[in-house]
Amino acid sequence: MKHRRPRDLRVTPRGELAPPPGRDALVSVGVTASGGPVAIWSSSRGGEVLTGRDAEPGRPSFPHTRPAEEHAVTLVAYTAAGEVADVVAVSSLPVAHPHVDRFPDGSFLVVGARARWTSAGGERNALVVGPDGRVVRRGCLGDGLQHVQVAADGTIWTGYFDEGIFGNFGWGGADGPAPLGAGGIVAWSPALEFTWGLDPEDGLVADCYSLVVTQDAVLACTYTDFPVLRIADGVLTEHVTQGIAGPRGIVASGDRVGLLGGYDDPWLLVVGRLGGGRFAERSRRRLRSPSGTRLPPVQVHCRGSELHAFVGSTWFSVDLAAVED
């Protein structure tokens, strides 16, 4: 299938995320259902430890499930205009490689990407942090978390990469329990209890490459065949794609969907519509910096129709509504 040459699309500058006093390392950043960023800040040493890995010569490198030493962090919620809205100090953070989001009641959700299974059970890698910085609830959301998003109603949606689906770190195999993320996409209550998940027997997800929560649905694009999956009111619909491989971001508004990136072009945005069990491509764009140059490596977070890109603490975005078919 031959495609038209993509037209350039410049991202919109949104501002700079201001760090709290004494915190110079941006450990993790996400975007809440209200459209404002939320971040975890720590000291330089804290930033290193909270993203630490086992690295031995000649052996695979695996991320830590817990920091080698606990460090204080500061959780900061920003408005959609990039202004500081709330600041919460946490005396120590017991999870590594954390995702961060916020519940509608103002409490924070922090989830470590990895969790081991031992004879004592799964590591409690999910924390609910109250406005005073105290952990009010802990639980385990499984290992291998690629995506964590809190919906406007407080439901937690999680998408897993392959190790969280097929098992590692004690999960799966002859001696461990089935991974909590075996279906690839799971919903949890604000109390960190399982409420819904894809059936692992269906084999739809070997790796949840991209996931987004919108006002009325959850959408994902998953390995191996990269269909667009849409979940609404507990009902799953599958839409086949053509020429899509390895997208790291997905945005949606109604039946319009944008898929960002792939194995060959990390900044290609493919826009199309869902209908009749397929994703029908309408246009292609290549994202550029505000000045028109190539974008550097960024963290990408998708919420609703907006794609958010962070170069360190510098924030950019693109709204699907502004992209023509």
Which H or E element spans position 101?
Answer: strand 98-102
User: Do 102 and 32 meet the contact criterion of CB atoms below 8 Å apart?
Assistant: yes
Residue 1 lies in a domain: no
Residue (of 38, 33, 26) closest to 86 by Cα position? 38
Residue 29 lies in a domain: yes
Residue 202 lies in a domain: yes
User: Do 212 and 304 meet the contact criterion of CB atoms below 8 Å apart?
Assistant: yes
pLDDT in tens, 25-37: 999 999 999 999 9
Average pLDDT estimate for 32-52? 98
**Alpha carbon distance 157, 234 (integer Å):** 12
Q: Characterize the bridge pairing of strands 278-288 and 7-10.
A: parallel
User: Do 320 and 252 meet the contact criterion of CB atoms below 8 Å apart?
Assistant: yes
Which H or E element spans position 110?
Answer: strand 108-112
* Beta partners for residue 26, in sequence order: 41
**Alpha carbon distance 298, 319 (integer Å):** 17
**Alpha carbon distance 201, 178 (integer Å):** 12
Query: Strand, coil or helix: what is 13?
Result: strand
Residue 32 lies in a domain: yes
98: CATH: 2.120.10.30
Residue 5 has pLDDT above 60, yes or no: yes
DSSP, residue by residue, 143-160:
S-EEEEEE-TTS-EEEEE
Instruction: Answer with the residue of higher pLDDT: 173 or 41.
Output: 41
Which H or E element spans position 164?
Answer: helix 162-166
Residue 57 lies in a domain: yes
- Torsional class of 261: left (φ above 0), alpha (ψ -120 to 50), beta (otherwise): left
Average pLDDT across the chain, whole number: 96
User: Do 223 and 216 meet the contact criterion of CB atoms below 8 Å apart?
Assistant: no
Residue 30 lies in a domain: yes
Residue 174 lies in a domain: yes
**Alpha carbon distance 317, 302 (integer Å):** 9
* Tokens describing residue 178: 């089935």
* Tokens describing residue 92: 């120590």
pLDDT computed for residue 59 by the predictor: 78
Residue 57 has pLDDT above 80, yes or no: no
Q: Which position has the token pair 């060959």?
A: 264
Handedness of CA 116, 164, 303, 294 (dihedral sign): positive
Query: Strand, coil or helix: what is 40?
Result: strand
Residue 2 has pLDDT above 90, yes or no: no
**Alpha carbon distance 127, 105 (integer Å):** 15
Residue 1 has pLDDT above 60, yes or no: no
Output the furthest CA–CA distance in the chain (Å, rounded): 56
Average pLDDT estimate for 208-230? 98
The number of folded domains in the chain is 1
Average pLDDT estimate for 187-192? 99
**Alpha carbon distance 36, 14 (integer Å):** 11
Amino acid identity for residue 176 in this structure: G
Residue 196: give the domain boundaries. Answer: 7-322
Residue 149 lies in a domain: yes
Average pLDDT estimate for 238-243? 97
